[in-house]
Amino acid sequence: MGHHGWQGNPPGTEDEARRRIVEAATACLDRVGLAKTSLSDVAAEAGVTRQTVYRYFPSLKDILRAVALAGVEEFAGRMERHLASFGTAAEAAVESVVFAVRTLPGEPHMGLLLQAGEADFFTDGVVSPLAFSYGARILRNLPVDWAGAGIDGDEDLQGLAEVLMRLFLSFLQYPSTPPLTDDELRALVRRWIGPALRG
């Protein structure tokens, strides 16, 4: 790894280099927003050349995706804490959709990608095997009798997570007209998802 740039403090590993580029991009996004952030800005913030950034990320969009993914763990933790107060499988499933639809657009970086026309990258992230694994992990950690609701093991939980994530993605990208209130969204999802989770 070269010792030029990096503000005189070169990273020790490639993973650290990627992390520092993501941190530089996050700082740029927080300071000037997505529309005014360029790959050159990210390189300058990190103290490296554009060519160095390209070694780790083929494009600005790839950096943006990494910024969004960096916020996933924290978001997943908040969702899990929110859902922990719902005791049945149907309630947890319904509330996961409502929470995601209401919370994601306001997330500092994940929501920014969605609102700023990076929906293809946001979608790719949400409908990926990694995202479904995150979703299944959240569901598994809830105080819910999944077996009693007809959910048999990890494969079923992963399938349920996929359906719920595809559902909230649809509501995010194609909002109802007029917009649904939280209670209306809750009732709609409960009407069609609830019966599948009664065992």
Per-residue model confidence (pLDDT) at position 3: 46
Percent of the chain topping pLDDT 70: 89
Q: What is the pLDDT of residues 43-70, one digit of tens each?
A: 999 999 999 999 999 998 889 878 877 7
Classify the C-alpha dihedral 99-85-133-147 as positive or negative.
negative
Q: What is the pLDDT of residues 98-138, one digit of tens each?
A: 999 999 888 877 765 565 555 565 566 666 787 788 889 99
pLDDT reading at 148 higher than 80:
yes
**3-state SS, residue 146:** coil
Instruction: Categorise residue 34: left if φ over 0, alpha if ψ from -120 to 50, beta otherwise.
Output: alpha
> pTM for the complete prediction?
0.73
Per-residue model confidence (pLDDT) at position 1: 45
Q: What is the pLDDT of residues 23-49, one digit of tens each?
A: 999 999 889 988 889 999 999 999 999
Q: What's the CA gap between 197 and 59, in Å, rounded? A: 42
> Which burial class, exposed, middle or buried, applies to 25 when counting CB atoms under 10 A from its CB (0-12, 13-18, 19+)?
buried
Contact 81, 42 (CB under 8 A): no
DSSP H helices, the chain, are 14-32, 39-46, 50-56, 60-70, 72-83, 89-103, 110-115, 119-126, 129-140, 153-173, 182-193
Confidence of residue 2 (pLDDT cuts 50, 70, 90): very low
Confidence of residue 16 (pLDDT cuts 50, 70, 90): very high
Confidence of residue 199 (pLDDT cuts 50, 70, 90): very low
Non-local (6+) Cβ contacts of 2 within 8 A are 10, 52
